[in-house]
Structure 1
Amino acid sequence: MLHVTNGDSAADLILRSGIGGSVLPWRDVLHIGPVPGKLSMRELSEKRTAFLASLGWGIKEELVQSFLLRNSTLRKHAADDEVVLWFEHDLYDQLQLIQILAWLIGNEQHSTERQFLICIDRYPGVRSFRGLGDLNPVQIRHLFDMRKPIYLLQFNAAADAWARFTSAKPERHQAVADNPSTELPLLQAAYLRFLQEWPSTHNGLSRTEEHALRIIASGVSNPEEILHAHWANERAPFMGDWTFWEVILDMARGGYPLVAFEGDLSHKDFRDASVSATPEGLAVLRGDEDNITLRGIDRWYGGYHATRAEEAARWDPKQGRLQVPSVDS
């Protein structure tokens, strides 16, 4: 039996629960960086590992081998073994879930008899549930007993959502948030949160950028305090510390940085740094300047690559949907 889950914390809990089998952490932050469509799992893994290595999150060759081993492990067990998928309601997990289900059916490795899903947004008696890491081994064993076979409509719904996520057309992304899925009931809210990470019509900041910048502008300068203040504002936190730190670092880059640092900027010791808002950052918060008009944009949102501020699709917080500018041919 193979258990597939989001990362190492949940993997450790499953191992300690005593339910048996091996555990495969999926380990990819799909809501940042390139995820273009129509690539094989190997081709996509190579693109993803190159991106992750560019952030300093590992050595490319080692990341490639890790991803290839991950892929082959899933392929091997999917062929003739029981596979249990363990995921949560947040964006990080929901994107991993649709990727795996889409790969299984796209490669005719799916089974409605040997493949099971555990996907929750709450657990009885656990207040403010954030994820599987909030549970203990006894609760994990209870969840295992409640696992449900994955049915064909779920595989198909995931394949459709994955095709939209990897699309270069913003309208296809919006459609995921517009259409609730009975087969994947936690996907719509997670995807809506993904769209809020696109530059806003108000000032060109993502929701995370704006909230982090407001925290910093209020006088909070310690990165760890900024992170915890941000987590407290999220109903379903989906960013780990390194991912959130990359958001802050990116706001410090370029000719018009929105934040400035004092101290060590390394990933290992960033908690010792001090962060402050720049005049440009304050101007963007006021709406006097637009972030991507001022600083440019070169960012992937799944399969959509935004490179020109005047042509970039934006999140309209008032309308609650993406706005796609018309571009003259």
Structure 2
Amino acid sequence: MSYMHVLNGDATLTLFRQSGIPGEVVVCREMMCEGKVKCTNDMAAFFETRSKHLEYHYGIDKQTYFSNVVKELEKLKTAGDYDEIVLWFEFDLFCQINLLFILHYLRTQVIRLPKISLVSIDNHSEVPEFRGLGLLMPYHLPALLQERVTLQEEDLQLAARAWQAYCQGDPPELEAISKQSTPRLPYLGPALVAHLQRLPAVENGLNAIQSYFLRKLSMSSLRWYDLYAQFWEDMKIYGFGDFQLDIYIQRMRSAGMIEQQDVMLSITNLGREVLNNEENFTDYISLKHRWLGGLRLMHSPWRWDGKLKHVVRVE
């Protein structure tokens, strides 16, 4: 048997190599849960649009993106040469959206697809504070490989629907799909709900992450790394790293919601007013270039209703 293993990020790469598991390894270094994605099967057009967006809005060098990210992903085109593709993706939003993309890439770019299997967990008995595969030891991985599940056609179809809805910026469809997870894709539903909670809230325009930061800081000022540590413990469903959280903090500082003094973060009076639903966060920030997948937030009617716990349309 020949295997192609697809890992989500470099955090697991060294661990995987030390495990002794045979096969070719491809590392997905993307963060498809962040920023704009284009709805197309043309990967050249997709990556061109994606690279321009990431360079302009996230400071990710276009040339580095193509050499470090795209070139690695192009190895997937040889997937048909293997007997099985094993996907190693975790339970969180970061991983699940990348998983949807990888499945989309394979289905649209590989003529003869071999069996596709998935290793995906949300806890481990030997790691009490499990947040990802990178926290495991090399000897844990062969056992996980034995527990992998083979994806069926219904799984691939559901993933294709979810990716299309994500790229088309269709929150109601994503909400519907979140209730249809298959037994082999148990984490897709919760991840999609977490994604939808990144929409501005009906009450005050804050999304779930912004609201979490302000609530924590309303109780006391915190060092940024302590705030991040609490976020990773309480909001592990997102799977975000320092880079993404830094962007959130920077934007909230620019909007006047948070102040920073050295490593200390504090909530401002305006931040408290927004948190108390006396002001609306969207009045103090620009949504012009803000995207959630294929949904451009500027002029978007879609909001998250925390009381009803679902997506609503506001005019």
TM-score by length of 2: 0.91
- Report the AA paired with residue 260 of structure 1: E
Distance 2:38 2:218 in 1: 35
1:3 is the counterpart of 2:2: no
Compute the displacement of 1:231 (Å).
1.5
Tell me the residue number matched to 2:132. Answer: 131
Residue 138 (structure 1) shift: 0.8
Contact 2:149 2:184 (8 Å CA) reproduced = no
Identify if the C-alpha distance between structure 1 residues 87 and 112 changes in structure 2 by more than 3 Å, giving closer, same or farther: same
Judge conservation of contact 1:102–1:156 (CA < 8 Å) in 2. no
1:324 Cα deviation after fit? 1.1
Give the structure 2 partner of residue 266 of structure 1.
Answer: none
> Cα distance, 1:199 vs. partner?
0.6
Counterpart residue number, 1:317: 306
Instruction: Report deviation, 1:93.
Output: 0.7
Give the conservation status (yes or no) of the 8 Å contact 1:262–1:274: yes
Counterpart contact for 2:85–2:114, Cα < 8 Å: no
SS in 2 for 1:307: coil
Q: 1:110 to 1:181 in 2, by over 3 A?
A: farther
2:25 match: secondary structure: strand
The within-5 A match list for 1:1-329 is 1-76=3-78, 78-81=79-82, 82-109=84-111, 111-113=113-115, 115-253=116-254, 256-263=255-262, 273-298=263-288, 299-308=290-299, 311-326=300-315
Secondary structure of 1:197's counterpart equals: coil
Letter in 2 for 1:259: I
Instruction: Tell me the SS of whatever aligns to 1:295.
Output: coil
Cα offset, 1:198, TM superposition? 0.9
Give the CA deviation at 1:147.
Answer: 2.7
- 5+ residue gaps, structure 1: 264-272
Q: CA deviation at 1:318?
A: 0.8
Q: Which runs of 5+ in 2 are unaligned?
A: none
2-structure distance, mates of 1:183, 1:142: 18
CA shift for structure 1 position 306: 1.3
1:125 CA displacement: 3.9
Tell me, yes or no, if the aligned pair for 1:153 and 1:183 is still in contact at 8 Å: no
Decide whether the 8 Å contact of 1:170 with 1:324 is kept in 2. no
Amino acid at match of 1:48: R
Report the alpha carbon displacement of residue 46 of structure 1 after superposing the two structures with TM: 2.4
Are the counterparts in 1 of residues 201 and 305 from structure 2 also a CA contact under 8 Å?
A: yes
Deviation sequence 1:20-57 (CA, Å, 0-9, x none) = 23322211222221013125222222222333333555
Residue deviations 1:97-119 (CA, integer Å, cap 9, x gap): 11111222233446353x32212
Contact preservation (8 Å) 2:90, 2:121: yes
How far, CA to CA, are the matches of 2:152 and 2:114 in structure 1?
Answer: 5
Deviation at 1:291, TM superposition (A): 0.5
For residues 241 and 88 of structure 2, what CA distance do their matches in structure 1 show? 18
CA distance in 1, matches of 2:107, 2:41: 15
Of 131-140 and 15-24, deviating more is: 15-24
Residues 305 and 48 of structure 1: is their aligned pair in 2 closer, same or farther, counting only changes over 3 Å? same
Give CA-to-partner distance per residue, 1:229-277, whole Å, 9 cap, x none: 2112125341111111111111122xx42112334xxxxxxxxx33222
Check the 8 A contact 1:14/1:23 in 2, yes or no. Answer: no
Cα distance, 1:110–1:250 mapped onto 2, change above 3 Å: farther
Normalising by structure 1, report the TM-score: 0.87
Question: C-alpha root-mean-square deviation of aligned residues, in Å?
Answer: 2.0
Describe the shift of the 1:12–1:192 C-alpha distance in structure 2 as closer, same or farther (beyond 3 A).
same
Deviates more, 1:231-240 or 1:197-206: 231-240
Which residue is 1:268 aligned to? none
**Number of matched pairs:** 311
Aligned in 2, Cα 1:147/1:312: closer, same or farther, shift over 3 Å?
A: same
Identical aligned residues as a percent: 27
Cα offset, 1:73, TM superposition:
0.8
Distance 1:121 1:112 in 2: 26
SS at match of 1:122: coil
